[in-house]
Structure 1
Amino acid sequence: MTALENQTFGEEYRVTGHIDVFSINKKMKAFECYESISAFNQLQNLKDGFLVTANLLVRAKLFKRVVLFDEHPFSGGDKEWTRSATALGHKIKYVPNSIVNHPARSTWPEMTQKLRRTTGGKITIFPDYKISAFRSFFPPIEAASHIIKHKNSNLRVKTLVFLVAYRIQALLIFFINKKRAIHTRAYMREHLP
């Protein structure tokens, strides 16, 4: 909060800043490396037209003016809400020294829990969201491009991040198909006699 104490913003502003993903270990584990590069890139999110709520300040009046925040059990409500606010013309102020520290997920169970939640959110928000099973056999080229460009990481970290990204890409196929089957069964129970 100290980064914002001497600044004033109009009611129409949403204020955001950097999210620092940290590890409690001296030497980061593979999943922590992955999170340090791939999670919470608020500047990129800003360019893509949304923000995550891990570092977002909004006045109560503005929050109530925008569509209700969807608190469904999956993920993505923050993206929907911030996109709605942007569509209504509400501005975003990025304050670089407004920093939130967020612990990196460090184990495979923590990572799969996040993947289930985020994949469920994508399917809930975008019912046509798909990933080709064929694609899961190939290296994650888009992720590799992002990993290579990351300036503050050494070769060990970049290699670990790439391997985790590859493993996640293959697992996403399973989650998407499973979530789609669950949604289809729920829809059928609700809408068919």
Structure 2
Amino acid sequence: MIEFTVVIPAYNDAVRLEKCLKALSQQTLPSDKFIVKVIDNNSIQDLKSIVERFRFAEYLFEAKAGSYAARNNALDNINTPFIAFTDSDCIPQENWLECALSTLRDSGDGVGAIGGKVMLFAENERPNLCEYYDMVTGFDQQSYIEKDGFSVTANLIVKRSALTKTGVFNALLMSSGDKDWCLRMQQQGLTLVYCKQAIVAHPARNSVKQIKTKLKRLFGGFYHNHKYVEPNPLFSLLGLIKAALPPIQNLKQMQKLKHSLKLSVLTQLKLFGFFYYLKLYTLVFRLRLILGLVKQVERL
């Protein structure tokens, strides 16, 4: 019996997509227990030829821009009891699906989905400032799930029965569609649970350009939602004023992780300055969005 459908939206990034699929080919869960659907979200790069190298994977195409529209494309005619979402730049650990299956089987009917750990890693032994930034500000899945009630789709595994009750993702959203779906699921009386054993790894961004691209993508998505779906306080006068203040929240995050990341005092000072610089960068970008000076935002 096939237990899982793994859903992966992809927009270019062919090299990392291949790494993701290779990691899935090495799962401890037998390959006849899962299938993979890769949804090409109108990429320029040739993703189809990569997907076709893996016999467990199916290539789909979605022209409508947005990762949530792409995920919805794959959700038609899914018959497996569980659906596992991850991203094309993630590397699932070899026991990812096996741990998820064990947790889901042991959960009661009241559990609709689980979120696993997203582990950020530096590609070199000594991370640079950008990699430290990404690891400090990265995916705190346990906090997201237990405090904020959502899991990112980099590592979200749901029961098909929960998807049937909740419905698909809101394709109008260009950002935070994972949070929207998880909150809607819980409104149906179902629970979201954290599973620390189900792990996907994610490479930390290692350049200022990569981090700025991520920030433009996120805030571009936030502004799209603000303009067309629901007002976002990030773009209010108070939100803009707060964006000019020192990054105290980032400082708290850094203090929490300074021992595990072995941050020297000098590195902490550099990081704080880098945090402030990027916070002001997003403030300027928000103002440009409001004034209509940004014609095209980064794709999700």
Same fold (TM over 0.5): yes
- TM-score of Structure 1 vs Structure 2, range by shorter chain: 0.7 to 0.9
Equivalent-residue separation in structure 1 for 2:102 and 2:152 (angstroms)? 24
Equivalent-residue separation in structure 1 for 2:232 and 2:219 (angstroms)? 11
- The 1:115–1:91 alpha-carbon spacing in structure 2 relative to 1, beyond 3 Å, is same
SS in 2 for 1:18: strand
Retained in 2: the 8 A contact 1:33–1:160?
no
**Alignment-mate amino acid for residue 152 of structure 1:** S
Higher RCO (CA < 8 A, seq sep 6+):
1
**Alignment-mate amino acid for residue 140 of structure 1:** P
Q: Which moved more, 1:168-177 or 1:5-14?
A: 5-14
Name the residue aligned to 1:148.
255
Say if 2:228 is the partner of 1:132. Answer: no
**Post-superposition shift, 1:160?**
4.2
- The 1:94–1:133 alpha-carbon spacing in structure 2 relative to 1, beyond 3 Å, is closer
**Alignment-mate amino acid for residue 121 of structure 1:** G
Q: Greater helix percent: which structure? A: 1
Equivalent-residue separation in structure 2 for 1:161 and 1:63 (angstroms)? 41
| Structure 1 residue corresponding to 2:156, chosen from 56, 63, 68 | 56
Runs of 5+ in structure 2 lacking a partner? 1-96, 296-300
**Post-superposition shift, 1:73?**
7.1
Name the residue aligned to 2:116.
17
Q: Which moved more, 1:64-73 or 1:34-43?
A: 64-73
Superposed CA deviations along residues 133-181 of structure 1, whole A, max 9, x for unmatched, are 5752x42112112211224122335344323311111011112112223
Retained in 2: the 8 A contact 1:34–1:161?
yes
Name the residue aligned to 1:188.
none
- The 1:79–1:5 alpha-carbon spacing in structure 2 relative to 1, beyond 3 Å, is closer
Superposed CA deviations along residues 95-148 of structure 1, whole A, max 9, x for unmatched, are 111111011111112111111121123332443423335752x42112112211
Retained in 2: the 8 A contact 1:34–1:160?
no
| Structure 1 residue corresponding to 2:222, chosen from 118, 122, 130 | 122
Retained in 1: the 8 A contact 2:114–2:156?
yes
Identity across aligned pairs (percent)? 25
Superposed CA deviations along residues 51-73 of structure 1, whole A, max 9, x for unmatched, are 11111101233224224313457
Name the residue aligned to 1:171.
281
Q: Greater strand percent: which structure? A: 2
SS in 2 for 1:69: coil
C-alpha root-mean-square deviation of aligned residues, in Å? 2.5
Runs of 5+ in structure 1 lacking a partner? 186-193
- The 1:169–1:84 alpha-carbon spacing in structure 2 relative to 1, beyond 3 Å, is same
Equivalent-residue separation in structure 1 for 2:170 and 2:102 (angstroms)? 32
- The 1:73–1:29 alpha-carbon spacing in structure 2 relative to 1, beyond 3 Å, is farther
- The 1:60–1:118 alpha-carbon spacing in structure 2 relative to 1, beyond 3 Å, is same
